Amino acid sequence: MNLLFIGDIVGKGGRRAVQSLVPDLRKEFNCSFCIANGENSAGGGGINAKCIDDIFPDFVDVITMGDHIWDQKEFENEIERYSAVIRPANLSKRQPGKGYGVFRNPGGGDLAVINLLGKVFMKESAYCPFEKVDEILNSIPKTIKTIIVDIHAEATSEKAAMAHYLDGKVTAVLGTHTHVQTADAKILPGGTAFISDVGMVGSEASVLGRTIESVINKFVTGMPKRLPVNDHETRLDAVVISYDMTTGRANSITNISRMIEGD
């Protein structure tokens, strides 16, 4: 069984890349299920109903989020409409939405998707992701063998530690947030797939999806500046996880990076 996981979608260009590239990628790699991190979909910060409707359910089956979950003020009233949108589980229980879900894979069987937020260099309001993931795993029915964890975190060490902590307990631990696809994709000894960061769906001619000039100006002046998204020359970063649905163990993890032609 193969699953496609897409890195952080940035802006309108990122959404357009998902629409353009994902159907062919799913066919090429025979992926029956697709998960995408969508926390930068709305102009580079957060997500809203329009962004979700652009990619779900025709292109993506589940959308995970991150530290920009509430950047779009209206989204706190919209999230309950979308059972396939997963916010970080280790935020306050008083916040709307859910931190994990169990979904039917059209290719066969059920799978669970968990979204966690790192604490190192991240939001102080997030609770311990290690304690939270233990709590979630204890609540997921034992019949669910395939479990995908998106850990949205800044520190590579925290992501790697989470992967080793969960090795043999989940199918994959996939890092998001830093927008640069890393070269450490591997299968850990217990059968868990891991990569520090899947990358992004954003402009090749950018700094993490933002216009180069605006980012340079902010660094040079030290002044707070608006950082517009570059919606052109868009690249899609993703990984394909091949796994055994009867055991939940991953067999392989493959990095993907594709450009929109003529964008």
Catalytic residues: 68
- Of the CA atoms within 13 Å of residue 108, those in its CB half-sphere come to 8
Count CA within 13 A, CB hemisphere, residue 246.
Answer: 0
Q: What is the DSSP letter of 81?
A: G
How distant, in Å, are the alpha carbons of 30, 56, 144, 193, 228 from that of 256? 14, 21, 27, 15, 26
Single out the residue of 197, 125, 187 nearest to residue 154, CA to CA: 197
Name residues whose C-beta falls within 8 Å of residue 221's C-beta, 6 or more positions apart in sequence: none
Reported for 158-162, long-range contacts at CB under 8 A and 24+ positions apart, including other chains, are 158/118, 158/119, 158/120, 158/129, 159/118, 159/196, 159/197, 160/194, 160/196, 162/116, 162/129, 162/130, 162/133
